[in-house]
Amino acid sequence: MNIGAECVFHNVSLGDLGQIRRYVRETAVAGGCNAEAVDELIVAVNEAAANIVRHGYQNELGEIKVTVVCSEDRITVTLLDYSPGFDPTTVPSPDMTRPLDERPFGGMGVHIMRTFCDELSYCRDPRGGNELILLKRIV
């Protein structure tokens, strides 16, 4: 089994994140993926897409191409956008030992992605886009 699909979301704002989550969920479940693994991956996808909108496109409307591939042992979601280049895999992990009231507000998105994915990778697309790959093992 190796089922894949892709969808381009145009003029994406924070209000469109539900459509992206729904697309990933429906595609992965239709591909036979484990519902619990899909739920965890959805949390990471939501954080990644929110970061693209907020930080990449600076809350301006932009495009995100979402590709979902289901195989026997993994779900892979690729997010491609054309905002300024940014590699989230270089973001240091937050200091989780600090008391909550001493931590800066925000800055948890990449940590959440790492927590709910088994692998997180980034590369620049040859056309100048950001390609973020989120992988979740399902065995």
Mean pLDDT over residues 44-60, rounded? 95
- Position 139 scores a pLDDT of 73
DSSP bridge pairs for 120? 134
Beta strands in the chain (DSSP E): 2-12, 62-71, 74-81, 119-124, 130-137
Of the pLDDT bands very low, low, confident and very high (cuts 50, 70, 90), residue 94 is low
Is it the case that residue 105 has pLDDT exceeding 70? Answer: no
The secondary structure element, H or E, covering residue 48 is helix 35-51
Which domains, and CATH codes, for the chain? 2-137 (3.30.565.10)
Pairwise pLDDT comparison (84 vs 100), residue with the higher score: 84
